Structures are given as C-alpha cells and as structure tokens.
Structure 1
Amino acid sequence: MGNTKVLAAVYGPREVRSMGKQQFDECIIQCQMSRIAASQGERLKRPTDQRTRAMSQHIAGVFHAAIRKSKYPGSQIDIYLQVLQADGGVMSACINASTLALIHAGVEVVDYVVSCTASMNKQTPILDVTNQETNTGCELTTAILPNKGSIVYLDTAHTVHRDQFEEVMDLAMAGCQQVYEAMHREVESYLEDKHAIMSHR
C-alpha cells in the first residue's frame, strides 16, 4: 500500500509440527513476520524484533476469525510475511497481503480480511498514512470482514482525540471497503484466468 511493500506466502494446511500444539477439532494458525534491514530506512540489529513478533501474533489472531478452522482439523496453516519497504501502514499491508496469499493457496475463509489506516492532519482526515504523516498526527489501523460487517482488528499508534475518533474511524472503514473492492476484482480476474487455462488443458 503506497510505498510499503510486503511479500506474503502461505504453507498448509499441513501436519502440526509440535504434538503439544495439535488441536484435533480445528487447525492452528501461525504467522511469522520479518523485515529486511533497510525496510525502515535504518539498519536493524535483528530482522525480527519485539514489535515485529507482536504484529505477527496480532495477524495470526486476526485470521483466526476468518479461516474456516473446522475444515482443517488437526493441521496448521503458516503465514510468512517479509516487509521489503515500510512507509506507514505496515500492519494493513501485511493483513491485505495475507488475505490474498490465503485465497491463492486455496484456504477456505468466511470472508476477506481487509485493512486500512487513517489519520487526522491539522483537522483534515487522511487515508493510507505514511511514516511522515504518522509522526505528525494520530494513526488508526482497522481490519474488517467487509461482507459480514465485523471489525476484527483496531489499533491506534498515537492518542486519537475523542472528537476526532469517529471521523477517522469512518474514513478507515471507507478505506477498507475500497481495498476490498480492489482486491475482489483482482481475485475474480485471477480465478477467471485460472479457469480459462484449466479448461484448455
């Protein structure tokens, strides 16, 4: 999204590696996120720092609400994310990339998960926030199941004034809907192309 670039890959459903984690009635969702050294314009001591691990846990939690876990009992699904370039909205980009990767992998979901960031800059609401815009104002990140109308993730990077929260939230929700429409078009186009290729074999 914007100048933020993320690679996503999904492996599974596959056998649970640790028997201690195995759940026989549904599957385990795991996420591992890493950043290349220059993804934030500075060298990181470790590609997976504490904040990155926390984001990985949040993303796994988000997709617990979206994946039909009962379809894959006793198995696990692993989401791998690599942030190539970060200029704001990293969490949203990771969630959106994960959604597309899951669909591409054929994992059954109850709905798309789409995410967007919004902020307030000098009384002006803005969408798809950059790092510079985050540093000068609040940042609200939300993720929704657009067809179900459910919010599955909500976070603020800085304090959002009560008088501004509703306006920023409404903008973020509208942004999520735009992301959903764009993603849905791309998925439909991909599935049509895939069907056309398969029918000619």
Structure 2
Amino acid sequence: MPLDTSTYSLALLRLDGRRWNELRRIHAQISTQAAADGSSYLEMGNTKVLCSVTGPWEGRQTGQKGGKDNEAKVEVEIGFAGFSGIERRRRKQDKRTAEMQHCLKTAYEGVLVTHLYPHSTISLNLHILSQDGSLLAACINAATLALIDAGVPMTDYLCACTAASSATSSESDNSDPLLDLNNLEEQELPFLTVGTLGRSEKVSVLMLETRVRMERVEGMLAVGIEGCKRVREILDGVVKGYGKRFT
C-alpha cells in the first residue's frame, strides 16, 4: 500500500530529530545468555529488552483448549526491572502486562511450527530493562531473535512496530502518521502496534493501544507495515552477522 506523503512536510521534525517515517536506532544481539536455549538483547531507541527461550522441552501435559494436545504449548512471562521506568512498579503483574503476555502467546502459537513438538512446552521469558515507548513491539522483535537463536522452527520472522496519528484532537480530520513512537509521543497521540510476517503485508499482530477514529486506522496501519518490513531487514542482518562468526 503506497504512502501518501503529499500532506506532510518532510522538513517537519519530531522532538527527537526524526522525520515522520524514521525508525529509532535499533541495536540487537543474539546468544547473550549461555544458560538459555536461545536468547537475545534488543534496543529500540531507549526501550531495552532481554529475552530468553527455554525448550521445546517435554513437560507435564494438562490438556489444552481447542484440541491442540498434539502441539507444543507456548508460555510467556514478562518481568520489569525496578529502574525500567520513571515510576517504580510495585505490583508483579498488571492488566497491561497480562495483555502483552496473551498477545505474544497467541501470536507465536500461530507462527511457530508447534506440531513438530507434541506434548512439549516452549517458554519465553522477557525482562524489560528500560521503557521508552513501543514496548510490545520491542518484546516481539526480541522474542523473534531469541526463538531463531534457539532453533525453533517458525514460518517467518515476526516483526513489529508502532504507528500513530499526529492529530491530538478527536474532532480533527487533518492527521499525519508517525512511525516508531517514543514514550512522550505515546502519551500524547493515538497509536497502534502492528506485527507482520517477513517481507509480506500479512498482519499477525494488531493492537490498538488507544482510542482512535476508524478513518485514521488505514493510514496508521500502512505506515506500521512499512516499518515492520524495515525492522525485518535489520533483524535479518543481526542473524546473518552472527552466523558469519562461525563460517
């Protein structure tokens, strides 16, 4: 889907110096934790995430809903460092964290080739070191790298990015999309998180993080999908760079 840039001034910069369609700096590594079957470290701007993967390992089988007893079960746990945000988190888990865990679990159950590992469990453990926007997207990208490092078969890279509408008023019809939000932008603007498979436009994750008028969603989604494609190229470069160390 081509992006219409005619209504947005390319000279207009955001507070951190980026144009509307620029990603923040992404830095990532894999095989960062020797004790895990697969692991990764990822930075999207100042959002920093550690991810470790355990499994597939054969464990207790309690029976899964939907008749999927012959497929691997995906478990997700997200933890926050006490210094990760401006406000220290007192509760171990809140509604937002539970939603993120469910989103990751559902997304990867559809991407991983789970039927190869019946009666098994694949555990994803994510630890948030720093929060500065696009947290769910960063978790998805870090999890993808860790699963690749663990050698768990998947249909393609699952990559994610955020996109927003620049209009702060719900009554305004004039809005321009923004890509890859930081924390300040998320507090001010309606936004969504989108995850796609590989270089395609097949959407596997779509979470509206705030209320937004439906006529704005198409533009936000188009920008997010293009951002996911660019994230995919960056993650692929990380994987290939790691592989060259052993050739």
TM-score of the two chains, using structure 1 as the length reference:
0.90
Q: Could you tell me which amino acid in structure 1 is paired with residue 76 of structure 2?
A: C
CA contact (8 A) 2:63 2:69 kept: no
Alignment-derived partner of residue 36 in structure 1: 81
Counterpart mapping for 1:1-201 below 5 A? 1-16=44-59, 18-21=60-63, 24-122=69-167, 123-147=175-199, 149-194=201-246, 196=247
1:92-112: CA deviations, max 9, x gaps? 000000000000011111111
Q: Which moved more, 1:184-193 or 1:67-76?
A: 184-193
Q: Distance in 1 between matches of 2:208 and 2:183?
A: 14
Structure 1 residue 78: deviation in Å? 0.2
- Number of residue-to-residue matches in the alignment: 194
CA contact (8 A) 1:10 1:101 kept: yes
CA contact (8 A) 2:46 2:130 kept: yes
1:68-103: CA deviations, max 9, x gaps? 001111111000001111111100000000000000
Q: Distance in 2 between matches of 1:65 and 1:148?
A: 16
Q: Could you tell me which amino acid in structure 1 is paired with residue 62 of structure 2?
A: G
Q: Distance in 1 between matches of 2:202 and 2:233?
A: 16
Q: Which runs of 4+ in 1 moved over 6 A?
A: none
Q: Distance in 1 between matches of 2:218 and 2:197?
A: 19
CA contact (8 A) 1:39 1:83 kept: yes
Q: Distance in 2 between matches of 1:62 and 1:177?
A: 17
* Secondary structure of the corresponding residue to residue 170 of structure 1: helix
Q: Distance in 2 between matches of 1:67 and 1:19?
A: 19
State the superposition RMSD in angstroms.
1.5
Alignment-derived partner of residue 199 in structure 1: none
Q: Distance in 2 between matches of 1:183 and 1:90?
A: 17
Q: Distance in 2 between matches of 1:93 and 1:105?
A: 18
1:105-148: CA deviations, max 9, x gaps? 11111111000001122423211111211121111101111245
CA contact (8 A) 1:121 1:133 kept: no
CA contact (8 A) 2:199 2:232 kept: no
* Secondary structure of the corresponding residue to residue 112 of structure 2: coil
* Secondary structure of the corresponding residue to residue 190 of structure 1: helix
* Secondary structure of the corresponding residue to residue 245 of structure 2: helix
Quote the sequence identity (%): 33
Q: Distance in 2 between matches of 1:185 and 1:131?
A: 27
Q: Could you tell me which amino acid in structure 2 is paired with residue 13 of structure 1?
A: P
Structure 1 residue 161: deviation in Å? 2.1
